[in-house]
Amino acid sequence: MNILEIIKGKLIVSCQALADEPLHGAHIMRKMAKAAKEGGAVAIRANGVDDIIAIKEETNLPVIGLVKRDYKECEVYITPTTKEIKELISSGCEVIAMDATNRCHPDNVSLKEKLDLIHEANLLAMADISTYEEALFAQSLGFDMVSTTLSGYTPYSRQAEGPDVELVAKLVKELKIPVIAEGKINCIEDIKKIKEQNPFSIVVGSAITRPQLITKRYVDAYLK
């Protein structure tokens, strides 16, 4: 079965912890992914080659891979250059997720050239976008799917708590390629609202795999 068939109508869990987060480390992310699989996740979104290899070894689930890396004077950090794409191609992931926002990338390589690199390796490409226009552009370039990952994380996109339900709805209506709903889906109510828009699949991250943020929500609710 190809990955699109596997993820259609199902939950993907993002298992990520950066170096400054308590759960950082491939030995922990592999267990997080194992727990997600036991709970019914059909694929994992993961950051960095070490985590991807460990997660694949532990779960054998399809992986949407990315490499988060900061470059000087550049806001783009999700698979920002061809260097990260090449790392991911050798990682064993099935899909490569990359920033497809309308911002300057650290290298002078166009999104189209990066996309071609992914397709030449026989992998699928996910465009992480923040607006409707960026999604349309990604589709016109030939990306295999778009994800609303970056809504709220670019200065010009919607800034609000909770998932961007409106963007998901508009993308599902207007786009021909699969639309993945991702970002700020923090509770069961959010899942219900998003599901009504009929996205191709849903990604949940922090609400499942970042216990420091989960704890904070409970602490805040208790202290308020």
Ligand X SMILES: CC(=O)N[C@H](C=O)[C@@H](O)[C@H](O)[C@H](O)COP(=O)(O)O
Residues that bind ligand X (CB under 6 A): 14, 16, 45, 66, 78, 149-150, 153, 182-185, 203-207
In whole angstroms, how close is the CB of 135 to ligand X at the nearest point? 15
Beta carbon nearer to ligand X, 163 or 169: 163
Nearest to 212 by CA among 85, 2, 22: 22
Residue number of the CB atom closest to ligand X: 205
In the complex, minimum distance from the CB of residue 80 to ligand X, in angstroms, rounded to a whole number = 12
Task: Indicate the residue among 89 and 97 with the shorter CB distance to ligand X.
Answer: 97
Taking the complex as a whole, the smallest distance from the CB of residue 148 to ligand X amounts, in Å, to: 9
Q: Which is nearer to ligand X, 66 or 135 (CB)?
A: 66
CA–CA separation, 205 vs 44, rounded Å? 10
Can you read off the two tokens belonging to residue 105?
């990338």
Report which of 35, 88, 26, 23 is spatially closest to residue 61, judged by C-alpha positions. Answer: 35
Nearer to ligand X, 120 or 217 (CB): 217
Q: Which is nearer to ligand X, 120 or 211 (CB)?
A: 211
Give 143: exposed, middle or buried? Use CB within 10 Å, 0-12, 13-18, 19+.
buried
CA–CA distance, 179 with 45 (Å, rounded to integer): 15
Task: In angstroms, give the least distance from the CB of 178 to ligand X.
Answer: 16
Q: How far is the CB of 15 from ligand X (least distance, A)?
A: 9
| Cα 173 to Cα 149: distance, rounded to the nearest angstrom | 18
Strand 43-47 with 145-147, pairing: unpaired
